[in-house]
């Protein structure tokens, strides 16, 4: 897991390529073989001539794996969320959104024209109070699954319960959980203990995942009921008016899913996370069980200096500053992957202790 920066090779602790699939031989060869057969680009939107049988096959595989009726593959997660919220919500809709949700959910909400109620990060009581106060014909609770800058997790079971009790839809964006959480990386909606929350909350639950993170490629997918997904095929502007993913990217994602389902890489990732955490107990790392292990520094300039220090010692760890994170919570966002060696993690810890 290395990155080249200004002629130097740095160990990369900044990537969301959690399983190292972006350079896995099976994934890369699947893409290369596909380019040999089909060429590079898809040439047009899915609704014109860019559709590909492989895309439908992968949609069926993803839906079955995750326990949903149907799936729609689109461009990036940013495009998925913007298009999904625009298609689902209008100015009569009320959205209930965690304050730390990803920018794509924030922008999607804005573009939809819906009324947005933001609740304190993970605060289920405040969410419930808002749900009681604000009635509307269509209401949607919107939350990241694993939160991208903190590595903590939404209480998915609690959200499903609230959505049921208050008759709302629930949108979970598990961009960082799929491929990393749970035994074969099914993500937050499938844990704990293999209990299939997707089935339990079936009709209300809509989920977004990306192909750009643990899948190691590019693109995104939306999971939900057949009715929802067929509706999106007709209405989701970011899919309809945008060139379809290259077929090679679909072939790569298909190979990535096969590797994910084998479980070995997911286990290796989880082992590396445990290895890092067991040795970082004395450092001010946030309490996170996921691949995202933020070290909170606070001051913007100090966070930049810390990142520069690590770069000098051979590690690429980005400083994340406001407005990406709240004021006064600048941090080093360390991501652990299955492709890290224990020695690389040990060396990073030594570098962090020098700070």
Ligand X SMILES: *Cc1c(COP(=O)(O)O)cnc(C)c1O
The contact pattern for ligand X, residues 87-116, with x = CB under 6 A and - = no contact, is: ---------------x-x------------
User: Edge-to-edge strands of the sheet including 2-5?
Assistant: 2-5, 8-12, 315-316
242 carries an active-site annotation: no
Residue 94's DSSP bridge partners are 115, 139
184 carries an active-site annotation: no
Q: Which of 24, 94, 117, 176 binds ligand X (CB under 6 A)?
A: 176
Q: Which of 102, 176, 186, 340 is catalytic?
A: 176
**Minimum Å distance from CB 173 to ligand X?**
5
Joined together, the tokens standing for residue 10 give 């740095």
171 contributes a contact to ligand X by CB under 6 A: no
What is the spatial distance between Cα 110 and Cα 104, in angstroms, rounded to a whole number?
Answer: 10
**Minimum Å distance from CB 78 to ligand X?**
4
Q: What is the largest CA-CA distance in the chain?
A: 57
Which 196-235 positions form the footprint of ligand X (CB under 6 A)? 210, 212, 220
User: How many H-runs (helices) and E-runs (strands) does the chain carry?
Assistant: 13, 13
173 contributes a contact to ligand X by CB under 6 A: yes
Q: Which of 66, 94, 186, 213 is catalytic?
A: 213
Instruction: Point out the residue whose Cβ comes nearest to ligand X.
Output: 77
**Minimum Å distance from CB 105 to ligand X?**
7
Q: Which is nearer to ligand X, 63 or 80 (CB)?
A: 80
CA 272 to each of CA 209, 215, 310, 315: distance values in angstroms, whole numbers, following the listed order: 23, 18, 20, 17
Burial class (CB in 10 A: 0-12, 13-18, 19+), 69: middle
Contact 211, 50 (CB under 8 A): no
Residue 333's DSSP bridge partners are 294
What is the spatial distance between Cα 330 and Cα 303, in angstroms, rounded to a whole number?
Answer: 6
56 carries an active-site annotation: no
175 contributes a contact to ligand X by CB under 6 A: yes
Q: Which is nearer to ligand X, 150 or 254 (CB)?
A: 150
Q: Which range in 6-14, 168-176, 185-193, 320-328 contacts ligand X by CB under 6 A?
A: 168-176
Positions annotated as catalytic residues are: 148, 176, 213
Where on the chain is the footprint of ligand X (CB under 6 A)?
76-78, 81, 102, 104, 144, 148, 173, 175-176, 210, 212, 220
């Amino acid at each position: 897991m290395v990155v080249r920066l200004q002629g130097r090779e740095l160990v990369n602790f900044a990537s969301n390529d959690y399983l190292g699939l972006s350079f896995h031989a099976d994934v890369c060869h699947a893409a290369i073989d596909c380019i040999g057969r089909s060429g590079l680009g898809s040439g047009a939107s899915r609704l014109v001539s860019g559709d590909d049988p492989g895309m439908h096959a992968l949609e069926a595989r993803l839906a079955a794996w995750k326990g949903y009726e149907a799936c729609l593959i689109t461009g990036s997660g940013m495009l998925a969320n913007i298009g999904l919220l625009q298609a689902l919500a209008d100015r009569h809709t009320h959205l209930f959104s965690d304050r730390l949700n990803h920018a794509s959910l924030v922008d999607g909400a804005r573009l939809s024209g819906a009324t947005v109620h933001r609740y304190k990060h993970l605060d289920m009581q405040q969410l419930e109070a808002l749900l009681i106060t604000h009635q509307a014909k269509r209401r949607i609770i919107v939350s990241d699954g694993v939160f991208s800058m903190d590595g903590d997790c939404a209480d998915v079971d609690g959200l499903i319960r609230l959505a049921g009790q208050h008759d709302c839809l629930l949108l979970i964006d598990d961009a960082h959980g799929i491929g990393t959480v749970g035994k074969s990386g099914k993500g937050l909606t499938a844990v704990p203990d293999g209990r299939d929350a997707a089935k339990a909350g079936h009709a209300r639950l809509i989920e977004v995942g990306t192909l750009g993170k643990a899948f190691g490629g590019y693109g995104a997918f939306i999971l939900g009921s057949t009715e929802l997904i067929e509706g999106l095929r007709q209405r989701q502007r970011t899919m309809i008016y945008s060139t379809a993913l290259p077929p090679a990217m679909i072939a790569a994602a298909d190979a990535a899913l096969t590797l994910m389902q084998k479980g070995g890489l997911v286990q290796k990732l989880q082992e590396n996370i445990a290895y890092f955490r067991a040795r970082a107990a004395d450092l001010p790392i946030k309490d996170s069980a996921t691949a995202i292990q933020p070290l909170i520094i606070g001051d913007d300039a100090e966070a930049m200096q810390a990142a520069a220090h690590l770069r000098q010692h051979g590690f690429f760890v980005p400083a994340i500053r406001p407005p990406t994170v709240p004021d006064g919570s600048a941090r080093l966002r360390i991501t652990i992957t299955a492709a890290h060696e224990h020695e690389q993690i040990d060396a990073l810890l030594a570098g962090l202790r020098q700070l």
